[in-house]
Amino acid sequence: MKIFKFGGASVKDAAGVKNVLQVLQTVGHEDVLLVISAMGKTTNALEIVIKNYFEKSKELYSSIQDIRKYHNQILLDLFEDEEHEVYFDVTAHFDDLEYFVRSNKSPNYSFVYDQIISIGELVSTTIVSHYLNESGITNQWLDVRNFIKTDNTYRDANVNWEQTQKLISKINRKKSLFVTQGFIGADENNFTTTLGREGSDYTAAIFAYCMGAESVTIWKDVPGVLNADPRYFENAVLLNQISYREAIELAFYGASVIHPKTLQPLQKKEIPLYVKSFVNPTLPGTSVSKGADLEPKTSCFIVKKNQILISLSSIDFSFIMEENISEIFGLFHKYKIKVSLIQNSAISFSVCVEDKFEKFNELKTVLSKKFKVSYNENVSLYTIRHFDAASAEVVEKDKNVLVKQISRETLQIVTQQ
């Protein structure tokens, strides 16, 4: 079994869906499981629906309507026959969504978020699956919620590996092509959960692990893993081969090409990961596999925008020591704020964090009871793996550097954006 993952950008319009067909025709589709994300920017659009829902906005139904229309145009471009059952299946998913927003009683934000946001993947896979069938590539659509079981940490669910393994093992492998949703799962009550934004790569890794797959391929709009994000750096180069370890480091520091949770399950079973271009599917792209000697010698540049640099100092000039630090980290964990850099001195402690779930204000109030809290919002964190003087110069030039930290392989700086 090979696992292929197609992200939102690869299926953002009818041409994208047709291209998926072409990729499959070019590289083969025997014994393949496709994991597909929501089309284009649908997940962001659904986040607006969620916002409208909670704000009881008049725009609620029109924001849903916008998403229906976007998909309907893709359907019209792909299926001439407007009586084709794909139209009914897609409509049914949107009707479920409207039914949910009309009848839901739960005030739990994260629960509601997952029930709404998951429609994107249900719809995209419905469209792709029908289109492939229609084009002669017979496949079976799987509702991933019957296979990936998680706890009920909505928006950031943890996989129940034992149950997931059991359920995935039951898939009848005689069918040779499967299409399923990335990003989503279900808890023990069968409510929909999600694995965290951009989590479809992780879904591919979960299936690969549980099926003992031969490989995972992530099809991207870039030629593979580059040493820098071309949006922010000039002259990015392709990394042909990297080790799991290097890929984990890059993902940890924020390289957005691979979701950070993806690599551990693959590495455990030594399943190779390929990152390839969906535009040029026959090119080798990047392969991520075992082997320390595969580490790139090339400097790798990673930038994380919209970080917050927080500095805490003790109100009475006492030292910030083990017990304060463990308390502070306990709070970061509680508020789901991800720490990406730490620096401390005797009486102050600085951290660069990412506030994905918009909890910083709450946390700040709690911290202010014990510490003097100062912070800079909207800072950028630059990381260079395998840095040298020249690469450091590229990043530091013309920037207002707030914090700098150097270890053997890695240089990090926090700058005002």
* 3-class SS shares of the chain: helix, strand, coil, % to 5: 40, 25, 35
Q: Phi first, then psi: what are they for 277, rounded to 5°? A: -85, 130
Best CA proximity match to 179, nearest among 35, 334, 20, 2: 35
Figure out which of the listed residues 183, 209, 382, 387 binds ligand ASP, where binding follows CB under 6 A.
Answer: 183
Q: Which stretch binds ligand ASP (CB under 6 A): 51-59, 156-164, 191-199, 272-280?
A: 191-199
CB of 58 to ligand ASP, least distance (A): 26
Specify the residue, 197 or 245, whose C-beta has the smaller distance to ligand ASP: 197
CB of 166 to ligand ASP, least distance (A): 25
On whether the CB atoms of residues 149 and 159 are closer than 8 A, the answer is yes
DSSP, collapsed to helix, strand or coil, labels residue 155 as: coil
Residue 337 · residue 358 · CB < 8 Å: no
Q: Is 231 among the annotated ligand-binding positions?
A: yes
R_g (Cα) of the chain, nearest Å: 23
Work out what residue 183 binds among Mg ion, ligand ASP, none; the CB cut-off runs from 5 to 8 Å by kind. Answer: ligand ASP
What track of x and - describes contact with ligand ASP for positions 111 through 130 (by CB under 6 A)? ---------x----------
**Contact indicator for 247, 274 with CB cutoff of 8 Å:** no
- Give whichever of 181 and 412 is closer to ligand ASP, judged by the CB atom: 181
Asked if 4 is part of the footprint of ligand ASP (rule: CB under 6 A), the reply reads no
Q: What is the DSSP letter of 346?
A: S
371-385: strand order across its sheet: 338-344, 348-354, 300-314, 371-385, 410-416, 401-406
**312 contact partners, CB below 8 Å, separation of at least 6:** 320, 328, 348, 349, 350, 351, 367, 371, 372, 373
Asked if 8 interacts with ligand ASP (CB under 6 A), we say: yes
Using CB under 6 A, which of 33, 126, 145, 182 touches ligand ASP? Answer: 182
Q: Of the candidates 2, 4, 20, 43, which one interacts with ligand ASP according to CB under 6 A?
A: 43
* Smallest separation, CB 37 to ligand ASP (Å): 3
- Per CB under 6 A, 36 contacts ligand ASP: no
* Residue 245 in marked binding region: no
- Binding positions are 121, 231
